[in-house]
Each structure stands twice: as structure tokens, then as C-alpha cells.
Amino acid sequence: MALTAGIVGLPNVGKSTLFNAITKAGVEAANYPFATIEPNVGRVEIFDARLKRITELINPKKTVPTTFEFTDIAGILKGASKGEGLGNKFLANIREVDAIVHVIRVFDDENITHVRGCVNPLEDIETINLELILADLESINKRYVRIEKMAKTKDKDAAFEFAILQKIKPVLEAGYSAQSITFTEEEKAVVKRLFLLTIKPVIYVANVAEDQIKEADSLNYVQQICEFAQKEKTDMVVISARVEEEIAGLDEEEEKQEFLEALGLAESGLNQLTKTVYHLLGLSTYFTAGKKEVRAWTFRRGMKAPQAAGIIHSDFERGFIRVETISFEDLDKYGSYQVVKENGRLRLEGKDYVVQDGDIMEFRFNV
């Protein structure tokens, strides 16, 4: 599934440094606004300990992890919705992503310029969020007049959309995001076509200094962001982009683990971030496993077996017959596919089966 999260924030908050760590792409991370102009897109492998265990048990010729795309979007300034800086272009880039990773600078550093001259995380969040709201309001206002005219002609589809616009417009005018509105499933289909920025799920990332990472949870700025995220009913992750960049520069997994242990961290910020993005977008992982290849596949929670099969190839969905399924927990417990089968833990599932996280599946199809 081609899903992507856009990394946004004010200039010089550490977006490109984080992106470097995520993708090892070596994107320029300079101490001046707009070091990033064109959005940089990088793909990162998603760490999953279950994939490693399946590989140990199956011993395939190759192992393929699932991946996720991150887009480094240039810094947004106050007035971006009116074209300030490179505003309109940046906002257009955000429209193309599935989720927003909002990086907020928590550290003071006289060698790294802050666009407002001082660090104030909540004001930084407000600046970005307001620009996204204003951009959405401008988009809604443009559509409002045309759809209102069509609705008056008793066009049912236009009347339905106009009712939705009437629902959204006052919320944006009051300074709140479209994400705060409850929509029916039927309304969601129309809202999706509006390409609103503030309907996208948001993760807040507090970027702390390298020497703050151990006591990050006790920092006043971090607590402020955490409280704000809780009010918004979303998630936040604490990361030191510099630390993540150092970890990414290590070649061996053992070295990385030793580095994390020295910092008193159980896992990298990148792992935390990707897990949080997955949760936010309602994603899970299933596996296919054979001697030729063990592979992880990303799917949306709630998908039925034919849809999940279609992620591999459209023919799998079109000609779906059934799927042979075992759970990762059973393979881990019994040690081999055959022993799982002998213990009656192999299941044959049909078209109505809702795929579960950690399922190991073999699809049967005919086209």
C-alpha cells in the first residue's frame, strides 16, 4: 500500500535532520529557512521483530520487510496560506500525504536560527495549525458559492455536499480543524474529495536536544506538547533528531542497540514514530512465508481476505477462492508450519474473513 506521511513544521525545527535519519538520504539540513524547497521523498523499512523470527524458522532465500514513505516538506511560515514564503507550494505538497508528522523544536541553540527569535512550542504549533485551517477555509469558501447555486436547482448530490460545507465552514472560521468534526460514513466519502489539510491525522513530534533525551519526559516544553496532543485526541512522540541521525549512521544492529542502551532507551525514536503512524492510520501487518521468500505486507485494519490478497496482486483478489491462515503466535510457539498444522491450528478462511495483525497467509485463487 503506497501510504506516506509528510514531515512539516516551521523552518529550522529539525525536519530534514529527522528525514536524514529516517531514510539515510543525506538531504541537506542547513541553518537557514527553505533549505528544503522541493519535497524529498524517502522510503523506510518498518522494523518488525516477528519478521525476523519467521525468517529464522522458515529460512527463506530472501526476506522483504514492509515499507513506509516519509516526505520532507519545506518549512511553513506564518502567512503561508496567503502565499508567504513558498506557502502555496508547500500546502499543495501536504495535500498529497496520508498523515502529517508535525515536528516541534524543543531545544535552545544559539547557533540554529529560530524564525521568531525564540523557542515556544505551543506558539509554533498554533502557527502551523492556523495556516492549515486558513488554507482549508479558503478552499471551502471557493467551493461554497458554486455548490450553493447547484443545490438551489434541486441537485441532490449538490444539496448533500452543500450541507457538509455548511457543517465545515463555521468550524474552520472558529479556528478549529475539520478533524474535530464527526462525519457519517456517507459524508466521509464527500469530505475525502475536498482534499482538506486539517482532516488528515496528525502526530506531534517533540524534537529535543541530544543531551535532553534521557530526561525528556520531565521537560516543561515536552509536557506542554503532550497535554496539547491529548486535548486534540492524537499522539505525540519524543525524538532527538540528532540522536536518530547518529543511530542511522551505525552499520551493525548490535552497535545500534548498544548506543540505545547507553542512552537508556529501549528502542529508537524512529521505531516509535513508525509504530505511531501505523496506529494513527489504522494499519496492520500480515505475512506470506515460503522457502523462496518471507514478506511483510501492510493492510488497513478491518480488511477482508480478498482485499488483503489484492495488495499482492489484483488477480489474487479477482480470483480469490480461500486463504490458508496461521497466526504468528502459533508459528512462534510450535516452531514449524507442519507442527502448527498437526496441532489443528491451520485455518481455511473464505471471502468474509477479516484479516488479523500477524496472520501468516497463503492465498488460493483462480483466474
CA separation (Å) from 350 to 134, 295, 307?
A: 47, 22, 12
Total Cβ atoms within 10 A of residue 194: 16
Confidence of residue 25 (pLDDT cuts 50, 70, 90): very low
Query: What is the pLDDT, as a whole number, of residue 81?
Result: 45
Give 183: exposed, middle or buried? Use CB within 10 Å, 0-12, 13-18, 19+.
middle
All three cell numbers of 197, joined, read 489539510
Compute the average pLDDT of residues 290-306. 96
Query: What is the pLDDT, as a whole number, of residue 83?
Result: 47
Query: What is the pLDDT, as a whole number, of residue 160?
Result: 95
Cα angle: 101, vertex 98, 128; to 5 degrees:
40
Greater pLDDT, 35 or 283 = 283
Question: Could you tell me how many helices (H) and strands (E) the chain has, helices first?
Answer: 14, 12
Query: What is the pLDDT, as a whole number, of residue 344?
Result: 95
CA separation (Å) from 109 to 83, 112, 117, 208, 209?
A: 29, 6, 11, 11, 9
Query: What is the pLDDT, as a whole number, of residue 267?
Result: 85
Task: Please state the pTM of the whole predicted model.
Answer: 0.81
pLDDT tens track for 234-289: 999 999 988 988 888 887 888 888 888 888 888 888 888 888 888 889 999 999 99
Total Cβ atoms within 10 A of residue 117: 7
Cα angle: 366, vertex 347, 280; to 5 degrees:
90
Greater pLDDT, 171 or 120 = 171
Query: What is the pLDDT, as a whole number, of residue 306?
Result: 97
Query: What is the pLDDT, as a whole number, of residue 257?
Result: 87
